[in-house]
Amino acid sequence: MRQRASGNPPRVSYTGRGMSEKVLVLFSGGVDSAVALWLVKRDSPDVELYTLTVNYYRRSSGEMRCAEKLAALAAVKRHIVVEAPYIREIEDMPGSQSLNSGGRVLPSVFIPVKNLLFYSLAAHLAFMVGAKRVVVGHNYEDSKLFPDVASSLIERFNELLRESLPSYGLTVEAPLLEYTKRQVYQMAVELGVPLEYTWSCWRAGEIHCGACDGCLTRRRMFYELGLRDATVYESLNTS
């Protein structure tokens, strides 16, 4: 996959299919999924929008709250929350799994087969509400970190959808997959995404911890782009 060059915010377009279209966004409350949602709103203002958040084991209450707030600000038709307490991250299963897969070291927040689970759930609910597009917010760096984030995997999943739902025309799309985290933040600014209501922390809690990789990346992006960071962090390492 080709990485986009850094620089000015990239212009991404999400072409809609008219006033009758319904779109479901797989929505975590993070910056990436918020940008994906705002992209749909910008480029297809007449679509009927749905958001889906999966509440899995030890998911942060802060993240759930951010997802609900952002969905409300985006004026979606319905924000769907599915409880799935059986879905766990590697760190929730100590000693049961290797942190290596195919020669790459997996982060502790990796969830085995997560995206196939989430895509299937999103496809099921999209069919139930009459949506024909599921939009996800993976970025380029996700594809290098997690083994189940790739355009080839999405293409194969869409092939299965064509067999599972013949003639329906449901697809999963990842419009940010060629863009770096920095570029996604740049797009967030361009689109007017309320970044103060997004969530980046990898740990369970009410506020951002300030120390995990998610928080460190968030702090770095705000600093490098010259943005005011109104995020409340539990602790800050300024060394």
- Could you report the per-residue pLDDT of 24-47, keeping only the tens digit for each? 999 999 999 999 999 999 999 999
This prediction has a pTM of 0.84
Does the residue 212 lie in any domain? Answer: no
> At 234, which amino acid appears?
E
Mean pLDDT of the chain: 86
Return the axis-axis angle of helices 151-164 and 114-129, rounded to nearest 10°. 40
- Total count of domains within the chain: 1
CATH of the domain at 71: 3.40.50.620
Does the residue 27 lie in any domain? Answer: yes
The residue range of the domain holding 109 is 22-195
Does the residue 227 lie in any domain? Answer: no
Does the residue 222 lie in any domain? Answer: no
Does the residue 219 lie in any domain? Answer: no
Does the residue 231 lie in any domain? Answer: no
What's the distance, Cα to Cα, between the start and end of the chain in Å?
35
Q: Which alpha helices (DSSP H) does 28-101 contain, by range?
A: 31-43, 61-73
In the three-class reduction of DSSP (H, G, I as helix; E, B as strand; rest coil), residue 5 is classed as coil
Does the residue 15 lie in any domain? Answer: no
Q: Give the residue among 10, 1, 2 at the shortest CA–CA distance from 182.
A: 10
Q: Give the residue among 62, 80, 40 at the shortest CA–CA distance from 199.
A: 62
pLDDT tens digit sequence for 158-195: 999 999 999 999 999 999 999 999 999 999 999 999 99
